[in-house]
């Protein structure tokens, strides 16, 4: 084999190696791109758990169905009214996540203060139950829930009072946003019980 043929063969091999290198680089870039897409897709994936008996629960276009509002009212009143010294803070912080972004900080501060007071008395717990034939009334921006709030000391019932939870809310797209939660003494008038301006911190 003369020198020119040998050099030509070497040059051909080098070109093949360069082509193979380009293919490998392209495949590597493609794999990295696909991996990034998978990571992004997994981070944006949301699991929606549909509870049993959720027929008719709909939210969208700034409105929520009656069943949806009923479930939210039940959840909120249970989380805010049925607690022990050990569970109150966790439940309240879970409720903070329901507040709209501009209300979150205020809700966090408010519930943190309430939790501190509750934790001072570990023997005291609270339990709420919906009261009456029609305990829930609602408008496009307010849930009113009539309850009986029981106070227990070392598991013994010491006090029961009729209360109303006034839950101001707004539906933005498909998100249910809590704006404020107030506890009021029942005054026999749904029309006026939530009209007081001041907030009662004793939730």
Structure confidence at residue 52 (pLDDT): 43
Per the listing, tokens 């900080």 go with 105
Mean pLDDT over residues 158-173, rounded?
93
The model's pLDDT over 140-162, given as tens digits with 9 standing for 90+, comes to 999 999 999 999 999 999 999 99
Q: What is the mean pLDDT of the chain?
A: 80
Per-residue exposure over 179-197, b if at least 16 CB sit within 10 Å of its own CB, e if not: bbbbbbebeeeeeebbeee
- Checking if the pLDDT of 127 tops 50, the result is yes
- Checking if the pLDDT of 49 tops 50, the result is no
59-193: in CATH 3.40.50.2300:
no
Distance of CA 137 to the CA centre of its chain: 23
Structure confidence at residue 2 (pLDDT): 60
Please give the Cα distance from 133 to 190 (Å, whole number): 14
pLDDT band at 190 (very low <50, low <70, confident <90, very high): low
Structure confidence at residue 84 (pLDDT): 95
Per the listing, tokens 């001072």 go with 120
Lowest-confidence pick of 4-18, 60-74, 135-149, 158-172: 4-18
Per the listing, tokens 């994936």 go with 45
Q: How do the residues of the chain divide into helix, strand and coil, expressed in percent and rounded to 5?
A: 45, 30, 30
Structure confidence at residue 150 (pLDDT): 95
Structure confidence at residue 46 (pLDDT): 37
Per-residue exposure over 52-75, b if at least 16 CB sit within 10 Å of its own CB, e if not: eeeeebebeeeebeeebbbbbbee
Q: Any long-range contacts for 71-80 (C-beta under 8 Å, 24+ apart)?
A: 72/143, 72/169, 72/176, 73/136, 73/138, 73/143, 73/145, 73/165, 73/167, 74/130, 76/143, 76/165, 76/167, 76/178, 76/181, 77/128, 77/130, 77/145, 77/147, 77/165, 78/128, 80/165, 80/181, 80/203
- Checking if the pLDDT of 111 tops 90, the result is yes
Paired with 143 in beta bridges are: 138, 167
Structure confidence at residue 61 (pLDDT): 79
Query: Alpha-carbon dihedral of residues 190, 161, 68, 102, nearest 10 degrees?
Result: 80
Structure confidence at residue 178 (pLDDT): 95
Mean pLDDT over residues 122-135, rounded?
92
98 contact partners, CB below 8 Å, separation of at least 6: 76, 176, 177, 178
Domain ranges of the chain: 1-45, 59-193
33 or 124, which is more confident: 124
The model's pLDDT over 56-82, given as tens digits with 9 standing for 90+, comes to 678 877 788 899 999 999 999 999 999
Structure confidence at residue 63 (pLDDT): 85
- Tokens describing residue 80: 């805010």
């Amino acid at each position: 084999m003369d020198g020119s043929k040998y050099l030509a063969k070497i040059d051909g091999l080098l070109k093949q190696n360069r082509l193979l290198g380009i293919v490998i680089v392209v495949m590597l870039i493609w794999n990295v791109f696909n991996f990034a897409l998978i990571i992004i897709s997994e981070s944006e994936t949301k699991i929606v758990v549909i509870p049993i008996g959720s027929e008719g629960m709909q939210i969208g276009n700034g409105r929520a169905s009656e069943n949806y509002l009923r479930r939210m009212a039940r959840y909120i009143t249970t989380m805010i009214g049925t607690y022990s010294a050990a569970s109150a803070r966790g439940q309240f912080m879970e409720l903070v996540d329901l507040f709209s972004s501009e209300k979150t900080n205020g809700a966090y501060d408010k519930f943190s203060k309430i939790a501190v007071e509750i934790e001072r008395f570990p023997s005291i717990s609270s339990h709420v139950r919906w009261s009456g034939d029609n305990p829930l009334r609602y408008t496009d921006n307010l849930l009113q829930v009539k309850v009986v709030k029981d106070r227990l000391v070392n598991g013994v019932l010491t006090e029961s009072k009729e209360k109303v939870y006034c839950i101001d809310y707004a539906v933005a797209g498909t998100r249910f946003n809590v704006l404020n939660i107030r506890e009021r003494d029942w005054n026999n008038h749904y029309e006026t019980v939530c009209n007081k301006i001041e907030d009662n911190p004793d939730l």
